[in-house]
Structure 1
Amino acid sequence: MEKLVNDFAYGLFFWQALILIVLILLLRKYAWRPVLNSLDKREQGIKDALDSAEKARLEMKNLQANNEKMKKEAREERDELLKEARQIKEKMIADASGEAEEKANAMILKAQESIRTEKQAALSEIKAQVASLSIEIAEKVVKKELDNKEDQMRLVDNMLDDVKLN
């Protein structure tokens, strides 16, 4: 230990301390700041993605609730139409003979066809809305995840091959 104290060179110590301070400043400016900045950007990107996913989940939940509501309304309308058709049918049967019965059956078939077409139209509209929302979400995620256009096109082609329309 005494040898270290006796051989201590103040000039060498000064230059080593100066080099250490310069090295710390350079690392702080060119290494730590960019690393911390990129970590902050990454954290913000993840936070934004989670917020976007939460919004998408809530929108999907709302769409499902709307879908159930529309189905319920369609069922109620169908039931009401069927009820009306049955009442008309019973009245016509009571009032007339075979011709009245044929007319009532025709009305029931028309009501059922109308219900079927309305239900199909409602389901098609819901599917279109869900597809549109899915495409928007996928577009946002793909924009963040894919760096070059070639990867984007390859992903889009793969997705289009997997899609089956009803």
Structure 2
Amino acid sequence: MDNELFELAERLGRTLKAKGYKIATAESCTGGWIAQAITEVPGSSAWFDRGLVTYSNDAKVQMLGVNPQTLAQHGAVSAEVAQQMAAGALANSEADWAIAVTGIAGPDGGSEEKPVGTVYIAWQNKNGFSNVERLSVPGNRHQIRKQAVKKAIEGVLSFL
């Protein structure tokens, strides 16, 4: 496990636990890496509710309630889908906060509008807070995914 990610996840755990919150994740391009980083921390069951890896569009619809029209109109890699993924993670969990990530990690699959390295991260809580950010991450597949995981955890820490 990467020390930087472990330390971030540990800090997230301390913060969530102190506030009495739990978190859930909905991941596409990161393939469960956020959940894996979180569960590396001993005692994470006190503050991590669940992680959903919804790699296919069907999984996003079936498990998170992402609207098929949103997928058709904006594509799986979009702010709208990231927000619906986060909302779905909250609706289908006992969590107070959710992180959702969707993106193009490459090496293929990019376009002029959404090149490889395009990642959307959404953060939501049960009190109505919602934020989404588009990243343009340079590097190879591993580097893109790692930066998405790092930014996802840093983002929720900044909102807590």
What TM-score bracket applies, with the shorter chain setting the length?
under 0.3
Where is the strand percentage greater, Structure 1 or Structure 2? 2
Q: What is the TM-score with the length of structure 1 in the denominator?
A: 0.20
Higher RCO (C-alpha 8 Å, min separation 6)? 2
